[in-house]
Chains A and B, each alone.
Chain A
Amino acid sequence: MKKSKGAILIARNNGRLDYIKQAVFLAKRISHYIQIPVSIITDSKDYLLDKFDSSVFDDIIEIPWTDKNNYNRLFYDGSLSHKTAPFKNDIRDQVYDLSPYDETLLLDTDYIISNDLLKSCFDMNDDIMMFKESYDIAKSRNEKEFKYVSDYSVDFYWATVVFFRKTPENKIYFDLIKHVKENWNHYRRVYQIKSELFRNDFAFSIAIHIMNGFDKGDFVKPLPGKHYYTIDKDILWKIENDKMLFLVEKEKYLGEYLPIKTKGNSIHVMNKFSLERVIDKVANNE
């Protein structure tokens, strides 16, 4: 029997950032570059249906709106501006159960697809893949925080993009992430994480360490390509097809930037405010 495959995006607006807008934009790019159906998990279905073309989605999976478990965090918009907003990141561990697909590519809405590399996941033998190796396109900053969960702790894996098949082992893994989340204060202490803020990257990484027998291992294989990213102190300036233009924070010169252009690289754009401005520009030109 042919296995169903598709991408899943999670969009829960927080009053400052429009994750639905980002998801609609990304869904179009996934359809263009990877050619798989895309479903959305959201607590704002009415807003989606009212304001956007929902036909880009194969399925809209509605979850109840809640402000439980929301933490406030700073979201930068370049190095000189920031806003505080709720960080609604506590649903990712449920994707295994919510996904309608046998083979799922889970993506953050700010991961801008610009090539077809991730298409190959569906042809690979590995049942779960994530990015471990990452690359800051500015290159001048300290990348240590994305190598290990903390100074004396375990390897860092990015939960930004996750490919998984529905297998008994992966069910155990996602259930374990739920357990880690529910007992976050315990696990963050065991793994020497100072911040109380729950982060999916950390929970996914801790669960991988446990699944590997409390050791390094290959329970999770690397995704094809590399996880390129820009931090929220950089600014996305322009997107034109597979090309993106960034202004990256100049090291030690607050408020000064250098341009970097990319072509054909999928990139995690952490400055969501600048991403939304660019999405608006692209939409106005369509």
Chain B
Amino acid sequence: MDERLEKALDFSNYMVTLNNQKRMLKEKYNESLVYFSSGCQFTVTRELITFVGFLVDKGNTEDIVLTDDNDLPAKIADLEKFYEDILDVYFTASNRYNSAYEELKKNRKTETLVEHEEI
């Protein structure tokens, strides 16, 4: 095989593998952003954080009704704790995502992309 083509195909495989690993990291991140409260599931989004933060700032902290991921109402007894918990979920998941992504970027070969501990 032409050496130029061989090198290009190696790189092509590397890129596909890199993009696959990036995709799986993103999936893992999305799965880590889930928070459970009052028997309901909430995906921690920037919108949820902002809205809950706004309610807490306005002094609405007890027995507040939010809608969950299934658009069903859930009464949250202590919204301040809910707020702290979702922030914790967000930061933990985001920091893990960031460290894994940084590690991923360092790997320049297809083999090392799937061998690293953090990824």
Contact = CB atoms under 8 A, between A and B. Distances in A.
Interface in A227-266: 228, 245, 248, 258-265
A117 B21 contact: no
B24 A261 contact: yes
Interface string A106-138: 000000000101001001111000000001011
Interface of B: 13, 16-17, 20-21, 23-24, 27-28, 30-31, 34, 36, 38-41, 69-70, 100, 110, 113-114, 118-119
A139 B17 CA distance: 12
Interface stretch (A32-40, A171-179, A218-226): A218-226
How many chain A residues sit at the interface, stated as a range, is 20 to 34
Tell me what chain B mostly uses at the interface: helix, strand, loop, or mixed: helix
A38 B118 CA distance: 30
Given A123-B36, A265-B31, A221 B20 contact: no
Interface of A: 115, 117, 120, 123-126, 135, 137-139, 218, 221-222, 224-226, 228, 245, 248, 258-265
A170 B38 CA distance: 22
A222 B31 CA distance: 14
Given A139-B20, A265-B28, A260 B41 contact: no
B70 A218 contact: yes
A124 B24 CA distance: 27
A261 B70 CA distance: 31
